[in-house]
Amino acid sequence: NRLGILIVRHLKRLERVILGYLEVCDGPEEEARLGILETLQCTIEHAWPRMPCRLPVLLKALLKMIWDVHTDQGPTPELVKAALLQGATECLILLDRCSEGQVKVLLEGVYSSCEENRVRECIRRVQENT
């Protein structure tokens, strides 16, 4: 928050850190992933002019994380899973806003081919958000 738009100076390095944290489950409470989703939301809000060029990488990582959370059979409580899915959905909504609707277009094919209700719900919330 303190850096504001100046975060763009560190965007390449920060993106690598964010992607790394999104990939790895960090235990039942998922504190690191929840924290990195907040960081990503803040980054998108402050560096939104630079986000469309990062859209393919971030979209892929967020969708993979949503799928991983959905299919997780570990000891992660349902409330934590719901918080992770909510955070990822909010990031997708922010990415859609700064990319002028590109995320909605890209998610259309995913939504039609996905049969998992929990994943479809996340995508539906992004598509309905204006």
Q: pLDDT truncated to tens, each residue of the chain (130 aa)?
A: 676 676 778 888 999 999 999 999 988 999 999 999 999 999 999 899 999 999 999 999 999 999 999 999 889 999 999 999 999 999 999 999 999 999 999 999 888 888 899 999 999 999 998 6
pLDDT the model gives residue 7: 77
pTM: 0.92
pLDDT the model gives residue 109: 86
pLDDT the model gives residue 35: 96
Q: And the tokens for 31?
A: 């504190």
Give the burial string for 62-94 (b: 16+ CB within 10 Å, else e). bbebbeebbeeeeebeeebbebbbebbbbbbbb
pLDDT the model gives residue 129: 86
Domain boundaries, the chain: 2-128
pLDDT the model gives residue 32: 96
